[in-house]
Amino acid sequence: MQVRSVVLATRNPGKQREIRAILGDLPIEIQGLDAWGSLASPEETGATFAANAAAKALYYAAATGQWCLAEDSGLEVDALGGSPGVRSARYAADRCPSGADRGAVDEANNAKLLEALAGVPQPQRTARFVCHLALAGEGRILIQTFDTVEGLIAASPRGRGGFGYDPLFWLPALGRTTAELPAQRKNALSHRGKAVRHFGRLLAGLLA
């Protein structure tokens, strides 16, 4: 079977590692956006994760001439009316200097989230991670899928693994945050892991 080149529309190294690990058995060559130099990023103006994923997939597929897999994901906290939602990655943008590295951005986002939930009892700190995926090529969307994982927002960060809000995302059944899980265990139950595995099954059918 011919190997298909797929551009992964992210410069986030954590997301790249997770997606590559899950899709490693498929006959595809995954290229990150870093392979395409200083390609401009599209505005993420969609009101939903699905809209943003589709827009990014179509944009980068047109810009590179390759199939493009785009993802939009984030955290929805019930006590905050679903925020930070589609603004998850830039939730604390007003607190970060221009060009701040990923670690500093994650730390600022987590600090703002804890401040917003100050005084909210633990049973009411319900939340979910959401991941939408879209594959585009030849000017159209070829595959779309999504998945979620439910949890609670912890009172303070725990764990050194993962990225983003992982140190605050508490899984009651395991008694750990997603940042405390080994990478393989996290991929088995995370929103992104579940969505990418479903995507992989759909992609295998498309390639066949």
Q: Which of 25, 34, 72, 94 is catalytic?
A: 72
Who wins on pLDDT, 187 or 197?
197
- Give me the residues paired with residue 7 across strands: 31, 68
Architecture field, domain 4-207:
Alpha-Beta Complex (3.90)
Q: DSSP letter at 53? A: H
Question: pTM of the prediction?
Answer: 0.89
Question: Looking up tokens 């939009």, which residue turns up?
Answer: 72
Which pLDDT band, with edges at 50, 70 and 90, does 1 fall under?
A: low
Share of the chain above pLDDT 90, in %: 71
Half-sphere CA count of 76, side-chain side, radius 13 A: 17
The question of whether 72 is a catalytic residue gets the answer yes
What are the residue boundaries of the structural domains of the chain, listed by start?
4-207
With 0-12 / 13-18 / 19 or more C-beta atoms within 10 angstroms meaning exposed / middle / buried, residue 125 is: buried
The whole-number average pLDDT for the span 49-53 is 96
Question: Looking up tokens 């809209």, which residue turns up?
Answer: 51
